Structure 1
């Protein structure tokens, strides 16, 4: 007998929690439209656990009128059946007079009263003066993200289960309240903190005292001084004007770090040497780091620290992956060499060469040209783990060539060096000269190494391959092949 299949819509007869879960993956506007499909779908959106309201996306349709977004949010929340909300996201356009503080407070309070766990609030350059008190005493919130808010904190702040806190373009008010927020008394289990493009009116110092903090990102906090105490960090991203005020104990547990300073030396009352020493001290304290990214501001600080330049580099055996942004100068190349000697187990360094005079960190430092010249370093058993080197935006300067020669002469098991030339016409000509005249003369200590030099502008790649059979081969026997892409 021929099998007859039911013509019924199977999705419509699924249990409400399953259908609600399926609808939760749709944009809110489309999700709400599902309620008119049939009688079975009428209340499917009343138990949604993920609510995302984005006024910009909502008003993309031509038929949308002013005030429709406000009414849509009100109607959606009014139809909710009272079940818990897992995620609540709200983005409001600039200067919408149809949305008052009363509406915003009501929507935020609704999320808090329904045990929201993940809360995101963005005002798209429109400043909302005061968030409701209930948000800062939520007992269910585990993730809080605030964008473009003028944050006037209440006197009582308590997030007992908050693990992730993000501030993006937030204006803080009240130094004592901010420091209280970023302490264990307010956030006893906080693990991740991100402060991005924030300013603090009337505040000079922010103190972060969070014993449970593992992941910290601080980006462009203007002229603020950052104090870090009682933290056990695993990952640190610090890209600000001033070096942080940080202790040795706070950095021992860090395994991944990205650092950049861009202080205006000419505008700063602090002695210059204090800033220069801060970079080298932080590197010494990062004894267990495995992955490290140093931007050009850090390298510039190190190049001006006479104690670092004259001393014996400290050893960090845990580091395997290093990325460095440097200028095409001899002093930055020398710093890179000193760093490579500090990391005996380094495996995959990558280098991005920047334009020397494009960075504010250079123009703010006096006597830029008075840098010490490369000197002969004492022979040591170094770079024993180095296998691959990537150099991007290579310009063929003397400093870069000095660095390349050092790596080739000391990396005993080097397998591949990838050099990507700058896309400038002048630098491309110089790179071609390096390929044909200079690089073949460098001694290569590795038994077999491939040097790939790519020229993006000319859309081609050159490759040097050395076959040695256990002994170092003279540069006159280098085999060179040029292949079109």
Structure 2
């Protein structure tokens, strides 16, 4: 086996070593004389302080890597710091060095808490295409210019001012994928008061809380996930999503009528996912469901002509939840699957499915081309 490995080219060996944490990659490259300098040409630096005895040894190792390595071909810098409070200044320098000197294309920094900031130079890097930060504190931004950035994931972030959020996004003109989870001082009380963001014309996928900002900047997306809070729909503040095919959110089931109105602005929607629909008291009597007066909604084009899947999580047999299922079952003409997720046991789910089909057949025409699944 060793003879076979020795026949591999240096380029292929460097590629294999790039999948290892940098410490292990260096150890592996010392196995034979020919490999001794391979680690200096790695395309990925993967540094994690959790595998070191103390932060001092980790700091020494990182500086040794920077001093001895060549890294003209480095593409990705991945840094995990569980003890970042012990060496905050060093981490700022490392991140800025990776962005501005090494000119990486992928920058991933993971911190344990949202109390750690970066040097502003990281946000004016012309080479970064993918930026993933966890546990970031953004207390100020003098300038944001990330002209090559296509993917940005910010998790557990904390912004001192809501305007900084808009400033950050407005400096990423080529952004295609966004996932943003954060807390912020001075959060707008409503969408109408939100700070505008420059149009993100290339954005195809966005995941964030709907309370954050005016949704107009995200009107080109194909995938939209409103997370971390319950969506309180307002058609007045919702743009038309001409490209949107998948929408995910949590809501209050009593807002179903307003949600249906908003779906008029999603003419091509094919997949609708409701993670949670809070309602009132559970319904235990079929007669109560059947006598429930459902409001008459104007059916959006996306539901009648395009919707293929509907997923409702945490289904608990509420009246208002049943209204949602009944409306989709009856009006979605090309629907293929309705999936209801419930925490009950397998036997109970089978019974719920049978009862649901019976109740749907009593109030609207049966669907032979649609599957009803209990997950």
For this structure pair, what is the TM-score category when the shorter chain's length is used for normalisation?
0.7 to 0.9
- In 2, distance between residues paired with 1:349 and 1:276? 17
Q: Corresponding residue for 2:123?
A: 136
> 2:176 pairs with 191, 194, 208, which one?
191
Please list every run of 5 or more consecutive structure 2 residues that lacks an aligned counterpart in the other structure.
189-193, 281-288
Give every structure 1 segment of 4 or more consecutive aligned residues whose post-TM-superposition deviation is greater than 6 Å. Answer: none
Please report the TM-score for the alignment, with normalisation by the length of structure 1: 0.64
User: Secondary structure at the residue paired with 1:294?
Assistant: strand
Specify the structure having the higher radius of gyration (Cα): 1
Residue 120 (structure 1) aligned with residue 108 (structure 2): yes
Deviations 1:337-382 (A, max 9, x none): 1122331100122122468xxxxxxxxxxxxxxxxxxxxxxxxxxx
Q: Corresponding residue for 2:200?
A: 210
Specify whether residues 393 and 399 from structure 1 end up closer, same or farther in structure 2 by C-alpha distance, changes over 3 A only.
closer
Q: Corresponding residue for 2:66?
A: 77
Deviations 1:10-59 (A, max 9, x none): 54465433321221122222111124323322211101111111222x13
Is contact 2:233-2:259 (8 Å) kept?
Answer: no
Q: Corresponding residue for 1:200?
A: 184
Aligned-residue offset at 1:119: 0.7
> 1:339 pairs with 328, 336, 340, which one?
328
Specify whether residues 227 and 244 from structure 1 end up closer, same or farther in structure 2 by C-alpha distance, changes over 3 A only.
farther
Q: Corresponding residue for 2:259?
A: 279
Q: Corresponding residue for 2:366?
A: 410
Q: Corresponding residue for 1:54?
A: 48
Please report the TM-score for the alignment, with normalisation by the length of structure 2: 0.81
- In 2, distance between residues paired with 1:391 and 1:314? 36
| Larger RCO of the pair (alpha carbons < 8 Å, separation 6+) | 2
Aligned-residue offset at 1:153: 3.6
Aligned-residue offset at 1:214: 1.1
Residue 324 (structure 1) aligned with residue 309 (structure 2): no
Count of residues paired in the alignment: 351
Is contact 1:337-1:403 (8 Å) kept?
Answer: no
- Bigger helix share: 2
Deviations 1:320-340 (A, max 9, x none): 111123331233213311122
RMSD: 3.4
Q: Corresponding residue for 2:248?
A: 258
User: Secondary structure at the residue paired with 2:23?
Assistant: helix
User: Secondary structure at the residue paired with 1:241?
Assistant: strand
Is contact 2:339-2:373 (8 Å) kept?
Answer: no
- In 1, distance between residues paired with 2:363 and 2:293? 24
Deviations 1:120-178 (A, max 9, x none): 111112621x3112211110101111101111242210010111111101001222232
Please list every run of 5 or more consecutive structure 1 residues that lacks an aligned counterpart in the other structure.
1-6, 264-272, 356-389, 421-485
User: Secondary structure at the residue paired with 1:327?
Assistant: coil
Q: Corresponding residue for 2:156?
A: 169
Q: Corresponding residue for 2:30?
A: 36
